[in-house]
Amino acid sequence: MRNERAFELESITVHYGHARALEDVDLHVAEGEVVALLGDNGAGKSTLLKVMSGAHRPTAGRIHAHGAEVDFRSPKDAAAAGVQMVYQDLALVDAMDIAANLSLGREHVVKGPLGRLGVLDRRRMRKESQAELDALGVRTAPMTRPVELLSGGQRQVVAIARAAARLGERGVLLLDEPTAALGHEQTELVEDLIRALAVKGTAIVIVTHNLPLAMAVSDRVVVLNRGRKVGDIATSLADQDRVVSWITGAAVQGD
Amino acid sequence: MTMTGSVHQLSRSKRLPAKVRGLILVRDQGLLMLWIAIVILFAYLAAPYFFTVATGIAMLNSASIASIYAAGLAVGVMTGVFDLSVPGTAALAGVVTALLLRAGVPVWAAILAGLLIGVLVGIVNALIVIKGFDPLIVTIAMLSVLSGTSLILAGGNNVSGLQGLTFMGTQTYLWIPAPVYIALALFLVLTVFLKTTRAGMRLLAVGGNAEAARRVGIPVSRYRVLGFSISALCAALGGIVTSAYVTTASPGASVSIVFDGMTAVALAGIPFIGGRGSLPRVALGAIVVATISTGLLLTGVQTYWSSIATGVLLVGGLALNMWTSRTATNLLLTGDTGKRAVE
C-alpha cells in the first residue's frame, strides 16, 4: 500500500516584500508518483522548488514529509527528511570520474592503518557506484570515465543517481529542468531513469517548461500561474491544449 | 544502429571514439613529446656540450629548485587559488631559518621553524580569503607584508654563512645534488596525497567545483585552508633549499619565482580554473623550462632569447590544450543537439 502523502505542501505562501511569489499553493506527491510542475517564467515554479528543497522558508504554510510536519531551515534539513534536489547546473566535478562524483562526500577508505591516513578505497567506490547505477537500470559509461567526457544525458543520469543514492528508502526527489538542452535520445535516457526511480517508490517532482516531457513521464501535472495553482490533474486525463491554456493563463481548472 | 562508436550511442558503448582518444593522448602526453623534441633539437644544435651527463645533472638541479615552488603553485591552482605570496613566504622562511641557525639553534629546529612559518602564512591567507576577499589581492598584499618583514628581520642585508645547510644544498649523493632528491620526495608525497587520499580528492573537488563540493556536505573552507597551507609550505621549503644552495638567505622577495613556477604549471596543462592537473607533469614543465634555458645558453644564443622562447611556448601550450579540450568536449557533448548541454 503506497503512502498517498509522501510529501505534502499546504497553503504555501511566499511574499518578497510586497511581491507575491506564491499564494496559497497546495501540492502533494505520493510514493512512486511523478508530478510535473509546469508554468511559465515567473509563475512561481522556482520559488516553490526552493521552498521544497529547503533553500527558502515560506512566509506561510506547512510542509509534511510522510505525515510528519517539517520545518526546513536549509537544504541540509530537507536532505535529512529524505528530500534531495538535482539542480539544473548538476553540480558535478567535471575532472573527476563517475565513481568519484557518486562517492564524493561519503568516500570509502581502505581498512587498517592506511585507512586511518585517509587512503581511498577506489575499487569499493567504483563497485558501489556501479551497483547504484545498475540498481536504477541505467547503463552509462565505465565508472572510471571523467564526467567531462560524458554526454549531456549521461551527466544528468549521474547527477540524478547521486541524489537517488542519498535518498534512502521512500525518498522525495526534486528535479529542475532535467532535460533542458538534451536531444531526443538523451531525453529518453533520462525519462527511463525517472520512471525507474518511481517504480522503486521514490516520490518525484519535476519542474519543467517542457510539456512533452511532462506528458511523457508524469502521473499528474500541476500548473502554476502568477503564483497560484491553476491546474492539478492526472496526466492520463489531461488534454494538452487545456494544460497549455492553464500555463498561459487563458483559463483555470474548472472553467 | 551500427557499432562504430558514434556519440549518439554512448549509453551503450564502453569506449570513447578514436578521435577523442587521440585528442586526449595529445593533451596528456604532448608535453613529454615536446620535451623529447627539444632535447633532440639541442643535442644537435649544441653538440657536443648539451647531451652530456654533466649538463643533464646541472639542468635537473636548476629544474628541481624551480619545481619546488611550482609544486606549491600547482596545488594552489588545482585548489582554485592563485597564491602570489609565494616569493614572500620563501624569503621569510629562508631568512628565519638562517637567523635561527646563526643564533645557534640546531639545524632541524631552524628548518622546522622556517616550514612552520610557511604553514602559518598559508593559514592566514586562507582565513582572509574565506571572508570573501579576492585571493589575488590578498596574496599580493601578503607578498608585500612578508617581504617587508623579512627585510626588517634581516636588517636589509643578506644572511650568509649557512654552511650548516650544505647537506640540502650543494651536497651531492650518488653524483646527484640534494635539491633533486628533495624535489623528488616532495612530488612523490604530494602526488600520492592528491591521488589516493580522501583529503586530496576533496581538495581537488573543491578546486573543480566548490558549489558541488558544498552541496554534498564537504566543508569547503577547511579545504581552502589546506590548499593555501600546502602552497605556502612548498614556498617555505623552496626558500630554505634556495638559501641552502647559495649558502645565503636573501630577504628580497624574488617575484620571478612566481612567473617561472606558473610557466611550469601552465606547460603542464593545468587549467587555472582549478580542479585538475598532474604534478609529475608540473615537474616535467619545470624541466622543459630548464632545458630551454640551458640549451640556448650552450648554443651561444643570447640568454634573453630563452625568456622569449618560454613565453612563446607557454601561449602555444595553452592554445594546444584549449583546442584539444574543446574539440573533445564538443565531439562528446553535443551529440544530437548541436548545443552544449550543461554549464
Averaged over B153-180, what is the pLDDT? 86
Contacting residues of A for B202, CB less than 8 Å apart: 104, 107
B335 and chain A in contact, CB less than 8 A: yes
What is the CB neighbour count within 10 angstroms for residue B316? 12
Please tell me the distance from the alpha carbon of residue A227 to that of residue A235, in angstroms, as a whole number. 21
- One-letter identity of residue A168: G
Which pLDDT score, from 0 to 100, does residue B10 have? 42
* Per-position DSSP letters for A228-253, written without gaps between them: EEEEEEEGGG--HHHHHHHHHTS--T
Which pLDDT score, from 0 to 100, does residue B4 have? 36
Please tell me the distance from the alpha carbon of residue A230 to that of residue A251, in angstroms, as a whole number. 8
Using one digit for the tens of pLDDT, what is the confidence trace for B294-325?
888 888 887 788 778 878 877 887 787 778 87
Contacting residues of B for A118, CB less than 8 Å apart: 197-199
CB contact under 8 A, B14 and A141: yes
Residue ranges for chain A with pLDDT beneath 50: 1
* Per-position DSSP letters for A23-39, written without gaps between them: EEEEEEE-TT-EEEEEE
Which pLDDT score, from 0 to 100, does residue B333 have? 64
CATH of domain B20-333: 1.10.3470
Looking at the partner chain, which of A118, A139, A185 has a beta carbon nearest the beta carbon of B198? A118
B199 and chain A in contact, CB less than 8 A: yes
**Closest approach of A86 to chain B, Cα-based (Å):** 10
Band (B243; pLDDT cuts 50, 70, 90): very high
Q: How many pairs of residues across A and B have Cβ atoms under 8 Å apart? A: 122
**Closest approach of A76 to chain B, Cα-based (Å):** 8
As to burial, measured by CB atoms within 10 angstroms (0-12 exposed, 13-18 middle, 19+ buried), residue A10 is middle
Which pLDDT score, from 0 to 100, does residue B324 have? 81
CB contact under 8 A, B213 and A104: yes
Cell numbers that stand for B163 in this block:
654552511
B27 has a pLDDT exceeding 80: no
Contacts with B, A 134-153, CB within 8 Å:
138-142, 145, 148-153
Which pLDDT score, from 0 to 100, does residue B337 have? 36
Using one digit for the tens of pLDDT, what is the confidence trace for A41-99?
888 888 898 899 888 889 999 999 888 888 888 888 888 888 999 988 888 998 899 99
Please tell me the distance from the alpha carbon of residue B95 to that of residue B240, in angstroms, as a whole number. 8
Q: Are the CB atoms for B207 and B80 separated by under 8 Å?
A: yes
Which pLDDT score, from 0 to 100, does residue B341 have? 39
Lowest mean pLDDT among A3-7, B65-69, B90-94, B135-139: A3-7
Which pLDDT score, from 0 to 100, does residue B108 have? 94
CB contact under 8 A, A93 and B204: yes
Looking at the partner chain, which of B197, B211, B275 has a beta carbon nearest the beta carbon of A91? B211
Please tell me the distance from the alpha carbon of residue A135 to that of residue A250, in angstroms, as a whole number. 43
Which pLDDT score, from 0 to 100, does residue B343 have? 35
Which pLDDT score, from 0 to 100, does residue B7 have? 38
Q: Which of B67, B69, B97, B96 is nearest to B85 (CA)?
A: B69
* E strands present in A128-168: none
Q: Which of B123, B142, B36 is nearest to B85 (CA)?
A: B142
Mean pLDDT of all residues belonging to chain B? 85
Structural domain spans, chain A = 7-93+151-248
What is the CB neighbour count within 10 angstroms for residue B152? 11
Which pLDDT score, from 0 to 100, does residue B334 have? 58
Averaged over B60-85, what is the pLDDT? 91
Residue with cell string 552544449: B340
Element (H, E) at A107: none
Mean pLDDT of all residues belonging to chain A? 86
B8 has a pLDDT exceeding 50: no
Contacts with B, A 86-105, CB within 8 Å:
87, 89-96, 100, 104-105
Contacting residues of B for A117, CB less than 8 Å apart: 197
Residue with cell string 571523467: A146
CB contact under 8 A, A91 and B275: no
Give A180-193 as a 3 state SS string. CCCCHHHHHHHHHH
Q: Are the CB atoms for A140 and B322 separated by under 8 Å?
A: no
Question: Backbone dihedral region of A161: left (phi > 0), alpha (psi from -120 to 50 degrees) or beta?
Answer: alpha
Residue A224 vs residues A44, A60, A176, A215: alpha-carbon distances, Å? 7, 18, 15, 16
Greater model confidence, A175 or B24: A175
B335 has a pLDDT exceeding 70: no
Which pLDDT score, from 0 to 100, does residue B225 have? 94
Which pLDDT score, from 0 to 100, does residue B233 have? 96
Please tell me the distance from the alpha carbon of residue A59 to that of residue A15, in angstroms, as a whole number. 6
A106 and chain B in contact, CB less than 8 A: yes
Looking at the partner chain, which of B209, B218, B340 has a beta carbon nearest the beta carbon of A105? B218
CB contact under 8 A, B328 and A76: no
Averaged over B17-44, what is the pLDDT? 83
Which pLDDT score, from 0 to 100, does residue B86 have? 94
Which pLDDT score, from 0 to 100, does residue B68 have? 95
B197 and chain A in contact, CB less than 8 A: yes
Which pLDDT score, from 0 to 100, does residue A255 have? 63
Q: Is CATH 3.40.630.30 what the domain over A7-93+151-248 is classified as, yes or no?
A: no
B218 and chain A in contact, CB less than 8 A: yes
